[in-house]
Structure formats: structure tokens, C-alpha cells
Amino acid sequence: MPFLSLRCANFRNLEDAEIPVEAERVFLVGENGQGKTNFLEALYYLSYGSSFRGLVDQAVPRRGESGFALEARTRAEGESADFPPEELKVSWSGKTKDIRRGGKPLRDRKELVELNPAVVFCHEDFSFAAGEPERRRFFFDQTASLCSAAYIDSLRDYKRILKQRNAALKEGRASLLDFLDEQLTGRGLELMASRSRLAAEFDGRFAELYERVSLLGAEVRLRYRPSWPAEAEAGAILEKLAAKRGDELALGTSLSGPHRDRWLFQTEGRDFAATASTGQQRLLSLALRVAQADYFTAATGRRPVLLLDDVLLELDPGKRKRFLEALPPAAQAFFTFLPGEPWEDYRVPGTIVYRVEHGRLAL
């Protein structure tokens, strides 16, 4: 669902103003620290109700302010301009967050995911290639959640049960573990099944895309490695949990389950991410995001909004060209650029270009 305009109040360093953004591509051009990324973050807040930087709401208001508010006008793809636009609002008062669609409060943030999905490309994505296993789990959980509200529910339930189980292990309440193990196993198997399907569908898409942009000359394949045996049924997993119970009580934590699943990138049977150059790892993280957007469209028939934060800066001209050609059709795309970049080469008819300086956007 493309954005038509964005209004900010006390959001980071952005000027309190309404900014028209009704275009296929919107470019934000400015020096570092002027507010380009803050503008993308505002759009992300309106897509998910949170920051892609992983920051708490308290860190977002402009200095000296206790809260912030964001408001956007949006329109469904293909909907006639004769229809009135829809309004999305996200505000934080210093204590509570309020998210509204058409003036009515949303009870659950997953409603935003279903309504206005966005895919963000940012520097933190590098950790998907070179970071800890939990960062890859985060990426693939996010990918599955974009396409399935049921996956969001299963993941939430699993995390809730896992938290209860870890508390019981730490406190030595062994009498609760049989019941919690049954719950954990049920939700865990749901996640494993969903992740296995995702891996099978994502792998070929990602491998083809990475080779097309990188010209590496060797396939980089995705491999899903669950913590529990891939073909195990509930009874076998319950036996495994019972066998490890003594160790888990001693350590006070759950040693197996989907929270310890691994996602690997392999080429010729080797761990590609461990041996890849920094440039190859960076390109891997970009290819993951492109594949995520492409997978979302294939799974839902809808197109996401793309938020691309300085992603072309570290690519050589050839890879820049191939990366842009590989981007899937989007409902809308926002790019940030430094003034010295050749951003004019990437314009399409109708592109809106804003110069960003000290939080103010000007044409």
C-alpha cells in the first residue's frame, strides 16, 4: 500500500510538517546526520509500529519532548484516486503507544503487517551474513511473518511458553515441565514445518538472485538446520526433552528447540559466510532483502514498500546496476543518497527528489 503523504510531530530531528510522497520512487538526498534515515524510520513505524533500528520508543522523540506522532495517508495499489485515502497514525505519549487505522485503534500490531508491509534495506542487515545465529533466525522469522499471521501467532506462543519453561528450570519447578514440554513441542513443530517450507521456497530464489548480482561463479545455497530432528514426531521430541531435563535444570535454560535452529549459507559444501569477503557478505545481506520482497509478492500477490538506506554506496558500478535490475516490482520505493552519488542515474519518470538538511525536506 503506497504512501501518499507523511506528517511528523516531534519525531527525531524531522521538521513538523506534512511531506507529499505520492510517487513510484522517492529520493532523499543529503549529508549524513541530516534526517534521511529518520524519514525511513518514520515510514517503518507506520508499517510495523516500531523502529527498524531496534530502539525503544523512549529514544525516538525529539530532544526535550516526551512523545511523538506520525500520520500517513495511504491508498491500496490499483485503487482509483476517486476513493478517499486511508489514514494511519502511530503516536507515543511517553507511556503508551496508540496505533490507529481510519481513526479506529488497532488491537494488534500484526494488523499493520497485513495492511502495509515494508522491506527495509539498512546497514544493520550485514549481521544476517556475518552475525550470530539469532540474527538469521530473526530475518527468516520476519520473512515468514510477512506472509502469515498464523506464523506470528505460533512464534509468539512458542516464545511465551519458552519463557515460562526457562523460569521453571531456573527455579527448579520440575513438576511443571511435563505440561510445558507438551506445549513447547506442539508450537515448536508448527514453527519447524513453516520454516522447512520457507527454506525450500526461498533457497532457489535467493541462490539465483545472488549469482545474478555477484557473478561469483558458484552457487550459494540456503540450508535450514533445525535443533530438533527434522522428521521427528511429538513423542520423540518429548523423549528428547525428558532425557535432557537433568542438564537443563542444572543450567537453568532450554537447550534445544526452534529458538536454537540455524540457517546456513553454503557453497560447495562449505560455510560461505565464514569465508566470504566483506563485500561478498554485504552483497549477501542485500540479496536476502531482495529475495524477501520477491518471496512476499510470490506468496501473497501483493507488493511491499521498499525502504533503501544508502545501500548502493558500497557497491561498484556494475553491481549497482545489477542490484537495481534485480529489485522486484514494489508498491513504492524510497532511497537515501549522499549528494556526491550518481542518484540522477537512477531516476524514473515521476521520481520525487527531496533535499534533506537539518531535518527539513525541500524539493
| Identity of the amino acid at 113 | V
97 and 166 share a domain?
no
Whether residue 227 sits in one domain with residue 154: yes
Q: Are residues 287 and 323 in the same domain?
A: no
Three-state DSSP state, 233: coil
64 — pLDDT class (breaks 50, 70, 90): confident
The 3-state secondary structure of 90-145, one letter per residue:
EEECCCCEEEEECCEECCCCHHHHHHCCEEEECHHHHHHHHCCHHHHHHHHHHHHH
51: DSSP letter? -
Q: Average model confidence (pLDDT) for the chain? A: 93
What would the pLDDT profile of 160-191 be if each residue is shown by its tens digit? Answer: 999 999 999 999 999 999 999 999 999 999 99
The confidence band for 79, taking pLDDT boundaries of 50, 70 and 90, is low
Domain contains 123: no
Q: Grid coordinates representing 181?
A: 514440554
Give the cell for residue 20: 507529499
Percent of residues, the chain, with pLDDT higher than 70 = 98
Burial class of residue 111, CB neighbours in 10 A (0-12, 13-18, 19+) = middle
Q: Which three cell numbers stand for residue 236?
A: 520423540
From the number of C-beta atoms within 10 Å of its C-beta (0-12, 13-18, 19+), residue 360 rates as: middle
The CATH number linked to 86 is 3.40.50.300
Nearest in space to 188 (alpha carbons), one of 159, 167, 217: 159
13 contacts 316 by C-beta, under 8 angstroms: no
pLDDT at 206 > cutoff 70: yes
Give the distance, in angstroms, between the CA of residue 222 and the centroid of all CA atoms in the same chain. 18
* Domain endpoint, select from 275, 300, 325: 300
Residue 81 binned pLDDT confidence (cut-offs 50, 70, 90): low
Q: Looking at the structure, do residues 150 and 24 belong to the same domain, yes or no?
A: no
pLDDT at 75: 82
247 phi and psi angles, rounded to 5 deg: -65, -40
Q: How confident is the model at residue 358 (pLDDT cuts 50, 70, 90)?
A: very high
| Same domain flag for 263 and 132 | yes
361 in any annotated domain: yes
- Does 13 share its domain with 136? no
Strands 97-101 and 25-29: unpaired
Quote the pLDDT of residue 47.
Answer: 93
Read off the pLDDT of each residue in 179-205 and give the average, rounded to a whole number.
96
Return the CATH number at 245: 1.20.1050.90
pLDDT of residue 94: 83
- Whether 322 is in a domain gets the answer yes
Q: What is the mean pLDDT of residues 87-103?
A: 92
Q: Structural domain tally of the chain?
A: 2
Average pLDDT score over residue span 62-84: 83
Residues 154 and 267 in one domain: yes
The answer to which of 8-17, 104-113, 134-143, 278-287 has the lowest mean pLDDT is 104-113
- 266 has a pLDDT exceeding 70: yes
- What is the pLDDT, as a whole number, of residue 88? 93
Average pLDDT over every residue of 58-74: 92
User: In this predicted model, what pLDDT tens digit does every residue of 113-160 receive, in sequence order?
Assistant: 888 789 999 999 999 999 899 999 999 999 999 999 999 999 999 999
Cβ pair 288, 209 in contact under 8 A: no
pLDDT at residue 83 greater than cutoff 80: no
Which helix (H) or strand (E) element contains residue 225? strand 221-225
pLDDT exceeds 80 at position 349: yes
Is residue 1 scored above 70 in pLDDT? no
Same domain assignment for residues 290 and 308: no
Query: Domain ends where: 279, 300, 321?
Result: 300
Residue 103 burial by Cβ neighbours in a 10 Å radius (0-12, 13-18, 19+): exposed
Whether 36 contacts 299, CB under 8 Å: no
How many residues make up the chain in this entry? 363
Q: Please determine, for residue 78, whether its predicted confidence score (pLDDT) is greater than 70.
A: no
Q: Residue 324 belongs to what H/E stretch?
A: helix 317-326
pLDDT tens digits along 301-341 = 999 999 999 988 888 999 999 999 999 989 999 999 999 99
Q: Residue 9 has what pLDDT?
A: 96
- Shared domain for 72 and 200, answered yes or no, is no
The pLDDT assigned to 263 comes to 97
| pLDDT score at 53 | 86
Residues 270 and 332 in one domain: no
Average pLDDT rounded to a whole number, residues 274-282: 91
- Where does a domain end: 262, 279, 300? 300
pLDDT at 314: 81
What residues make up the domain containing 253? 128-300
Do both 328 and 282 map to the same domain? no
Output the 3-class SS for 161-221.
HHHHHHHHHHHCCHHHHHHHHHHHHHHHHHHHHHHHHHHHHHHHHHHHHHHHHHCCCCCCE
Q: Do the bridges between strand 221-225 and strand 118-121 make them parallel or antiparallel, or are there none, so unpaired? A: unpaired
Q: Is the CB of residue 12 less than 8 Å from the CB of residue 35?
A: yes
